[in-house]
Amino acid sequence: MAPPDVTEYLDLQRHHTRLARQVACLQRTHAALQAFGYTVSSSMQPPLQALAEVAGHMEAELPADAVEARALVVRLHTRIERLSLLHGDLRTYAQVGQAPGERRSMDIGLLVTHAWAHVPASAHGQLILAADLPRAVVVVVEALAAVLQALLDNAVVHHDAGGGRVQVRGHLEPHRPGGARLLVVEVEDDGPGIEPRFADQVFRPLVTLSPRDRVGGCGMGLAIARKRAEVAGGQVHLVPRAGRGAVFRVEWPVEAGP
pLDDT tens for the chain, 258 residues: list them.
555 577 777 777 777 787 777 777 766 666 666 666 667 666 777 777 888 888 888 888 888 888 888 888 888 888 887 777 777 777 777 777 776 678 889 999 999 999 999 988 788 888 999 988 998 889 888 999 999 999 999 998 888 887 789 999 999 987 666 667 889 999 999 988 888 888 888 888 877 766 555 555 677 889 999 999 998 889 999 998 888 889 999 999 887 555
Rounded Cα distance, 199 and 252, in Å: 19
Q: Residues with Cβ < 8 Å from 15, sequence gap 6 or more?
A: none
* pLDDT confidence of residue 188: 94
Rounded Cα distance, 81 and 25, in Å: 37
Q: How far is CA 191 from CA 160, 166, 177, 186, in A?
A: 6, 9, 38, 15
Query: What is the amino acid identity at position 239?
Result: V
Domain ranges of the chain: 5-95, 103-256
Fold category of 103-256 in CATH: Heat Shock Protein 90 (3.30.565)
Rg (CA), the chain: 23
Q: Are the CB atoms for 126 and 165 separated by under 8 Å?
A: yes
Rounded Cα distance, 38 and 202, in Å: 23
* pLDDT confidence of residue 31: 64
* pLDDT confidence of residue 199: 85
Rounded Cα distance, 190 and 204, in Å: 23
